[in-house]
């Protein structure tokens, strides 16, 4: 991102500021146990509000449905691959896994979809950065780990991937593969300067997904997934809510004119809630 800005704005002074968040630091605790929203962005947003940084770059799947009133996602660059991928011992695919195979993931969303499709697998919770999770293939006696394709591509590790999992098999997280650039609402100069990075197709797709998430009131600690795809003047979105054990899953798809992407996301959420999604989410909130 910094390289693109330097190239487009050669007179601008660009400094990278690394900020550790609660989600980055507490690697030995599961995301569900940590609870709350904004685990990977809160400290960054606080620095933005204090004026210590001018823009914040987030993975959109880590961004809660609700933002502080003074901040906004101003730009979404073109989306990277939204799929999940499997990295496995013996280069096996999911359908080739033996009974009882141990599969590691840091995601509740991936875990419940795997349990629903392949209940004989053992899902092992993982935390840590991408490299740490991949190394646990050998140290934790795992048959495979599932991570986001986007991260593997950005690291140049595509050769390590055993299988790109189709979205029909494993629906991605809301905003997966999308970077969002957050700015202060009253800083029109900065928002204008980085507007060249914006991709309107990605904005439309992630907008539908986030409208779905907002209606459900969810975050990364809830069993929710959604993926939208714009084709021509239309946009289609698939979404689901599932029980943590994978036994119940409510999934539906809808299509609308692309100009109504927000309405589409909300309508999909309302449909899933009415079909039993509300009862699933209410039960999870009670357990918390």
pLDDT tens digit sequence for 15-52: 999 887 765 544 554 444 445 456 678 899 999 999 99
Tell me the average pLDDT across 150-178.
96
Which element (helix H / strand E) includes 257?
strand 249-257
Tell me the average pLDDT across 133-157.
94
Q: How far apart are CA 32 and CA 28, in angstroms?
A: 12
Nearest of 42, 38, 46 to residue 63 by alpha carbon: 38
pLDDT at position 284 is 75
Residue extents of the structural domains in the chain: 2-80+174-287, 84-165
pLDDT at position 222 is 77
Mean pLDDT of the chain: 90
Assign domain 2-80+174-287 to its CATH architecture.
2-Layer Sandwich (3.30)
Tens digit of pLDDT for each residue in 83-98? 999 999 999 999 999 9
* 270 labelled catalytic: no
Tell me the average pLDDT across 227-231.
98
Q: Chain centroid to CA 217: how far? A: 15
Tell me the average pLDDT across 161-173.
96
Tens digit of pLDDT for each residue in 200-214? 999 999 999 999 999
Catalytic residue among 11, 24, 28, 62: 62
Task: Examine the pLDDT at 158 and tell me if it is beyond 50.
Answer: yes
pLDDT band at 252 (very low <50, low <70, confident <90, very high): very high
**Are domains 2-80+174-287 and 84-165 of this chain identical in fold?**
no
pLDDT at position 22 is 62
Q: Left, alpha or beta for 27 (phi > 0: left; psi -120 to 50: alpha)?
A: alpha
Which residue is listed with tokens 């999604």?
277
pTM assigned to the model: 0.90
pLDDT at position 223 is 86
Measured between alpha carbons, how far is residue 54 from residues 45, 72, 193 in Å?
10, 12, 11
Give domain 84-165's CATH superfamily: Periplasmic binding protein-like II (3.40.190.10)
Which residue is listed with tokens 């997904």?
209
pLDDT at position 128 is 82
Tens digit of pLDDT for each residue in 52-81? 999 999 999 989 888 999 999 999 999 999
The DSSP code for 232 is T
Q: How far apart are CA 141 and CA 70, in angstroms?
A: 46
Task: Examine the pLDDT at 116 and tell me if it is beyond 50.
Answer: yes
């Amino acid at each position: 991102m910094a390289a693109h800005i330097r190239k487009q704005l050669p007179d601008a002074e660009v400094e990278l500021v690394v900020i550790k968040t609660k989600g980055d630091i507490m690697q030995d605790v599961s995301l569900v146990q940590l609870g709350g929203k904004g685990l990977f962005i809160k400290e960054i947003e606080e620095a933005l509000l204090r004026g210590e940084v001018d823009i914040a770059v987030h993975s959109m799947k880590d961004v809660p449905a609700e933002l502080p009133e003074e901040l906004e996602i101003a730009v979404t660059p073109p989306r990277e691959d939204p799929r999940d991928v499997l990295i496995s011992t013996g280069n096996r695919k999911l359908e080739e896994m033996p009974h009882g195979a141990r599969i590691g993931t840091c995601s509740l969303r991936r875990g419940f979809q795997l349990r629903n499709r392949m209940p004989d697998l053992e899902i092992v919770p993982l935390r840590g950065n991408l490299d740490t999770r991949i190394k646990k293939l050998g140290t934790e006696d795992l048959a495979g780990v599932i991570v986001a394709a986007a991260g593997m591509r950005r690291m140049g590790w595509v050769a390590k991937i055993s299988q790109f999992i189709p979205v029909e098999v494993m629906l991605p997280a809301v905003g997966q593969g999308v970077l969002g650039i957050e700015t202060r609402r009253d800083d029109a100069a900065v928002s204008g300067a980085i507007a060249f990075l914006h991709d309107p197709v990605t904005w439309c797709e992630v907008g539908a997904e986030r409208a779905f998430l907002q209606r459900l009131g969810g975050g990364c600690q809830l069993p929710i997934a959604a993926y939208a795809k714009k084709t021509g003047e239309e946009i289609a979105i698939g979404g689901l809510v599932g029980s943590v054990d994978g036994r119940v899953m409510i999934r539906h798809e809808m299509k609308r004119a692309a100009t109504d992407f927000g309405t589409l996301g909300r309508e999909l959420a309302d449909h899933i809630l009415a079909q039993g999604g509300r009862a699933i989410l209410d039960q999870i909130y009670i357990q918390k």
